[in-house]
Structure 1
Amino acid sequence: MTNSTPFYFLLVFILFLGYANSQSELYDQEHAILLKLKEYLQNPSFLSHWTPSNSSHCSWPEIQCSSTPINGSVIGLYLINTNITQEIPSFLCDLKNLTTIEFQWNYLPGEFPTSLYNCSKLEYLDLSNNYFVGKIPDDIDRLANLQFLSLNGNNFSGDIPASIGRLKELRTLQLSYCLFNGTYPDEIGNLSNLEVLYIYQNRLLLPSKFPSSFIQLKNMKDFQMFESNLIGEIPENIGEMVALEQLDLSVNNLTGQIPNGLFMLTNLSILYLFKNNLSGEIPEVVEALNLTILDLSENNLSGKIPEAFGNLHKLTGLNLGLNHFSGEMPESLGRLPSIIDFGVIFNNLSGTVPPEFGLHSPLRRFEIASNSFTGRLPQNLCYYGNLFRITAYNNKLDGEFPESLGNCSTLIELRVNQNELSGNIPSGLWASQNLSTLMINENKLTGELPETLPRNVSLLAISYNQFSGSIPAGISSMINLVVFNASKNLFNGSISQELTSLSQLTNLLLDRNQFSGSLPSEFISWKSLKELNLSQNQLSGEIPDALGRLPVLSQLDLSENQFSGQVPSELSHLPITNFNLSSNHLTGRIPSGFENLIYANSFLNNSGLCSDMAGLNVTLCNSGSGSQQQSSKGSSVSLALIIGLAVVAFIAAFLLLLFIIRVYRRRKQQLDTSWKLTSFQRLSFTESNIVSSMTDQNIIGRGGHGTVYRVAVALIGYVAVKKICSNRKLDQKLENAFLAEVEILSSIRHTNIVKLLCCISNGDSMLLVYEYMDNRSLDRWLHKKRVSLPVVSGSVPNDVLDWPKRLHIAIGAAQGLSYMHHDCSPPIIHRDVKTSNVLLDSMFNAKVADFGLARILDKPGELDTMSAVVGSFGYIAPEYIQTTRINEKIDVYSFGVVLLELTTGKEANYGDEHSSLAEWAWRHVQVGGDVEDILDKEIKEACYMDAMCSVFKLGVMCTATLPASRPSMKDVLQRLLRCGDPFGFGDNKKVGIFEVVPLLKNSKRESRLDIDD
């Protein structure tokens, strides 16, 4: 044996050399493959460290190697968020030992890369958030070793293949944010080892191409059968997935009932089924005792809340909001030991709220709004000191506030409005330093406001109560106050100067109180104030001129007071939309800026006022006793005196004319040298013609970034001039970038896009000169916008915009946007589509205008992108807010809002302070509302009903949360053109048949108890 020892050592040494040699060969092969991959990706800068002479590729951060002692093999490849735009190369699986591929958050195109089938050892595959299209292949089960598969955030469509159910080793399956519009296969239930299943947010509102059978549907029953075949239900055998711990099937088009087996999964800890169309009752038997988060909100579930939910002792989040649950809430829910987030808003629940809520668990959010609860709020909601939100509005709660809320220092939001609460507010609540929203309006509360008020509150709504006393001087400490609504109370005293120090204030409503005395003379800090309502008080004195210097004040109501003196002429310079000085003691001549029929009801019951214009419901200044220039005795005037006065007047006029000519020539010389005109076609005017005519009398509009003038020019008639002022001196780079974008837009030639004639600039301003549109903007016709501007032809919408005109306008605007998206190279994205940017000519032809160029001047750091435009509230696509990615679909979303405005007559910001028209329309859909109920009553006619319903549905489609779920502008245009033969359902106008993807407030996968925000 001893003699053979050297032989064994030699044999081991030879084998080791062979192994080392083979490992070295494998290393060299894999190194070459990685360098080939770098070359295939066109040598991107983020892989600059991948070089032949660099250290071992196992040290590269994108590479993971096995732990083999010598030259470990590549087992993991991580190219995450690196802007890859090429398809996955077929040679990638030449890395024979690859077990992990993570290529998420790139721009990978094409269909599912079946070349990965050659990666025989692949266990972990993440291709999420790319641009893959088509179907998941039916033979995907060839990746037999997969334990993790994520295809989230792609454009995969069709059915989820049954073959996925044959991937027996899967532990995690994620197929969310795709376009699956087929069925969920029962075979998924065969994945007995699956622990995490995410297939949320996949539905299309309607399939992009309808099957021929679709047009044969006659009624709701037919559609529901069609819909269930199209989308499907939760598989009955889901109860066989015994290893399942997390299940998310939210925001799909799931119908039917919740299978009994689902609540029998004993390992299940997280269950999201929110925002579907599930119906029926919750199964009574609940054995999933490991549940920590349960969200069934926004479905059509009914019946009672199961008593068994009181046994879910690990439950931290429960959301049952926006369903049809009825009956009383189980008392045991108030004793859940772990509950943190609780929500049952918008149901039909009644009875008292379990009084033990908060006493047994560290409650954070408690939301029971819009039910029929009676009795008192639970007394111990903030027992553990973690509570930050209470929303209990729109119930029948009574009694006094829980005294414990006065010691709840963590409270941020308290909304208990629209109840029957009485008594005083706990003093500690007024001193809360974290409170930002306090809505206690429409109750029976009493008492006075203390001197110390919550400093950080931004929304304070206490209207329709019985508060009394004066507004304390301490209100000046509320430096973050944005909205203060104290209407319909018993407040008295004067409007204090301290109230005018709130620089963030946008809405101040103090109407229907007992305030007296005069108003402060200065409002220096009210730079953001948009609405001021002091009507139905006992205020007196003169109206301060300083009100007319508030830059954004658009709603002013001082009616039914005792104001005297003249109407300040400064008020006519405000961008007024609502204006009322009726029922006061005002005297004198109405300023010329208000001599417009849109103010016919603004000066009622002021006997001392007069006007030179008839129709304002006041005395004519040159009639009756108001004419003081005529002698009551009719005495004659000497002819010689008249002639003498005429001569003097002629000489004075001649001298004045010489002076004006001299000033005009001097000003013209200055204009010619300081303004630069960039023309995009042959013009019949010069820059001096334009600039000299930009006077207050020619203003026809004001916006957030400038003023619009109507200027008369030779040959053309009129042009519209938009003056854009920057906040700083324009440097050359900024001006050049602005002009470059302007030149792109000037090249557009389409009948439904406003023609840009030229651009005029100087050191700090830009003038954009467009063709003039006689009927101005669509919003003024839809929403009867009233502004203090000169009356020009077609500027005052006296007639209701009937449906044929609205449809004609919708088609025209769609043609303009479709041209920009599909016929321009590269495509042009508008970025700020809204009704005020849809202009109408004398024949009501729609033209898209205002491409948001003004915002470039505000954000010079973003000159090389198109993301400088944020947009307008109510029109902004949700994905832009979340990701700042911009494509054509953000215009589609905004245009969808325009369609909703055209059909409902409501404004884009319709709803409460946190919602929009798109969300409101979705809520109406979610509860199965009737389309006819929400159409604009001014234009509803039986002969137009089908077309109006079809366009409303199209608007809902366009405002889907997922960009890929929205049609293209070309598809939108085709649907509008087919509106004479709509894709509606005959006499059936039930919106519930169309499921809409709503705006997501929170993309995190956690208990969603903020649905009422």
Structure 2
Amino acid sequence: MAVKICSHYSNKQEQVYMVMGQFKRFIPALFGGLALILLVQAQDQSGFISIDCGLAANLSYSEPTTGIIYISDATYIDTGVSKSIPLEFKDDLQQHVWTLRSFPQGIRNCYSINNIAQGTKYIIRANFFYMNYDGQGNLPEFDLHLGPNLWDTIKIENISLGVIKELIHVPSLNHIQVCLVNTGLGTPFISALELRPINSSLYVTNFGSLSLFLRSDLGSEKGYRYKDDVYDRYWSSLNFNDCKAVSTPLTVNPDYWVPSIVMSTAATPINESAPMEFYVQPTDTNSQFYVYMHFAEVVKLRANESRSFNITVNGELWYDGPISPRYLSTDTVYGPTALTGGKIVFSIFKTGNSTLPPIINAIEIYTVKDLSQSETDQQDVGAITNLKSTYGVERNWHGDPCAPQAYSWEGLNCSYEDYNPPRIISLNLSSSGLTGEISVDISNLVTLQYLDLSNNSLTGSVPEFLTQLKYLRVLNLKQNQLNGSIPAKLIERSEKGSLLLSVDENSNFCGSGSCNNKKKNIVVPIVASVGGLFILSLTVVAILWGLRSRKQQDTTKVAKVDLEPNVQNRSLESIQRQFTYPDLLRITNNFERILGKGGFGTVFHGCIENTQVAVKMLSASSVQGYQQFQAEVKLLMRVHHKNLTTLVGYCYEGTNMGLVYENMANGDLEAHLSGENTNILSWEARLQIAMDAAQGLEYLHHGCKPPIIHRDVKTTNILLNEKFRAKLADFGLSKIFPTDGGTHVSTVVAGTPGYLDPEYYITNWLTEKSDVYSFGVVLLEIITNRPVIERSKERTHISQWVSSMLAKGDIKNIVDPKLDGNYNVNSVWKAVEIAMLCLSPTSSKRPTMDQVVAELKECVETELAQRKDRHEDESKDSFDMININVTTALNPLAR
């Protein structure tokens, strides 16, 4: 989007482009009620954290132009390499960006800044000055995260121009982590990190943090920062062709902490009858922004002179004016709520009785950033961090252990439940070179279900505190040097079948109870007794182990496996499409390219001859994944439909388990609906995707005997091929429906919050209508492009929001504004009606999936008819994408 001040501004080098928000509804702010803040006393650098990235350890200096004291980053990070920009660039830049830290190794590298003031509002600023430090001239692009949340994407577009990202944020803890993520488009680097505490009454928002888009001193010839600004904000200069500068040498008393030197200059139109205008042209209509305008009269008016003006947004008054700036005193005008929507035009124009044109001294614009992704539970963080230190774990364990999920630490699996902090449920430190005793810090991982410490050099006894881990289901301690007795409670749980305990190849065990010197080499059984809760079908590992044993005893049995199309009656050995682990290494080129990562494990790109595939490897620490692995293999080897993902084969070799699928070139539907994606699906494309997914469900419900219920229908489980045709994926939670005439299956609730059928959740009664409900939620997402559950205190469900809009008959504002009216209103109405029927609280009132398919076909036909009327000849299997280019131009930090 472009920000332009004064109607005919043509200095292209000064234009700024950035993503801004959607204007939804304007709420006026009374000028008299705006916050007028008292002047603060000049401050020292108390609370400042100024880090020169790449500066040699233990060094510090006072930056000559500002007097700010910068320190080395060596105490904040232990990865990366120090680099320096070429000498020819240094004369034009402040000293703190002369060096930088580059990260050629690892996907995510993080700065950990501790002992900050929890609950204090900070300006957090990250500086990136490439200046061809590596001599390669390859302009990198990478992601910047604050803790588990994506802050922004850093895209270097000019060797000699820097990028500065600034965020106003209130940390919820006494530390923050700033992370650089390699997205495969160049080596991440950073020049400087700065934190500045500011007064809590500044920049108040209803939700989220504020990312700086523009902060400018109008009418000035130079920019300012500390010490002119006690908070060390950067004020860039802006001058315009159709405006002239007015100024005063006197001090302007600020009321909103805007520096006097900034307020001492102003811009006013050369044509005194012309308005001053600037506009915001959004590309991402879902984002929001706040605008602050600062005014002060800098001219001593004569008795017959007056200056008063109004401000409008798209022709509507922004507040009850007019404004008459006070002489040498600052007034700030801002809206109490964020602005969103299409093109937003601000006009500042003089009133009829004003003899002088309007002026404006300074302006600030911020976008709202949703940084609400929870960090991992702090008890778990403390425990795993201590374990890393105790054992000297040499893995790329940086940043938050569990979040974001795509970058969770190697060897960890976590639970992600609604808005609760992620918890560590699985820890795999097998073959990690561990020495010493089993650390007591493990006892603080209270939600742990799977613990693998095998194949290390651990000594001492098996500690009693392991019995306190009440959720523990798998404990693997084999191939260590442990001794003494095993706690009786662990053996008891093993015998009852609630714990899979492996302790063989520890030569000094003496079983349960007391030990003496004569009792040695006693091995606790690797599996529990068959008579307890642990039946061999509990985990896929045990099932396959047993099947392999039987296969070795009688190879003729494989040919006699019942071929009845029943998922539960087929062994994996009866399925011939099996790959070895070396096959997968070859197919994926040693797991070179990651396509995604989830609770099951990591998905890699692969190639079989000339066919692209996706290889999903089961994480060794994914306890639940074993069961889902077996269910998905058996189901997908049985069912075949154009709208279900095709399973090419599978691998099972010990702990190496993988699924090989056809590759879906355009990823999942959720990614194409998210605000980060610059390609906008047309309405016709969305309808076709909805119908494709519906046809996949229709086949599971009515084309399979017995029927199958998916149980996890959501946008991330709808994949798109190169032509944007959709297929259902991820059948690990799928359930067979009874064929005995029953109306439901009583089962433990499984699914994803927001998509989960409330009737199923309450009763534990699963029917095909549970999938119908989930599909209704997906259909509303496709139509509205809104989150399923709003990240607000109210946590409004998407169906509640749509219901409130329907009550007003407001169909236009239900539809994703990105579509910009390019749809047939009748097809939209019908799609909304279908979705709301699917979301009926009572399952009996919901349609069946064959009825849904029929209705969606009518929607598609309506849309195609309108397209035909416009004489547009488009392919049935491909759809136009609206391509949005976003450019960011930033100036270097001048000395």
Higher relative contact order (CA 8 A, sep 6+): 2
Structure with a larger share of its residues in strand: 2
TM (norm. structure 2) is: 0.36
Larger helix fraction of residues? 1
Compute the TM-score of the two structures, normalised by the length of structure 1.
0.32
Max radius of gyration: which structure?
A: 1
